[in-house]
Amino acid sequence: MSPNLLKPPVRVRPGALLRPREGVALGPRAEEELFRVAEVLTEGRLDQSAFFGSALITIDLEKVAPQLRGPEGEAERRRLFDVVTGSVRVRLRAMRLALADVARRHPDKRLGTATTETRFRLDGSLLLLDVDLEVPVDLSSLQRKSTGRDSVR
């Protein structure tokens, strides 16, 4: 094949930097208000290597309604529920809240990277977030030194 028959190189343009999106998102102020009134109930068990449990986060939408001007009525609560279930920030914040409760209950343990699963439910005016947790644990550095279990990894 002769070099004259080859096509010259083509400059490739990268994809668009921004793309338009349609939809509704939860604002930072609304997220703050939801978690300000959140009640957390954590249960589980701690064995030698991990904490296994779940956290139930209850948010009473009637308590935040005056600050957020809504949601009023079943249709608005359902719309808020759809937005909340699609929010990565809400899932991350729920996970952090659950982990903070585990850390508070077991201050002598060093928590590893958690595996979580989050489910959402709407029961009347209550927004319920269930966070299932599996968290590896280890002795704290202070406790390791006192038991002679200090090791290099």
Q: How many CB atoms lie within 10 A of CB 127?
A: 25
pLDDT in the model for residue 69: 82
Each domain of the chain, given as residue ranges in start order, spans: 29-147
Q: Who's near 30: CB < 8 A, 6+ residues apart?
A: 64, 68
The whole-number mean pLDDT for each consecutive block of 10 residues of the chain, a chain of 153 residues, reads 74 74 88 95 93 96 87 90 95 95 92 95 96 87 47 37
- Residue 24: phi, psi to the nearest 5? -125, 140
Does the pTM surpass 0.85? The reply is no
Q: What is the dihedral of CA 72, 73, 74, 80, to 10 degrees?
A: -10
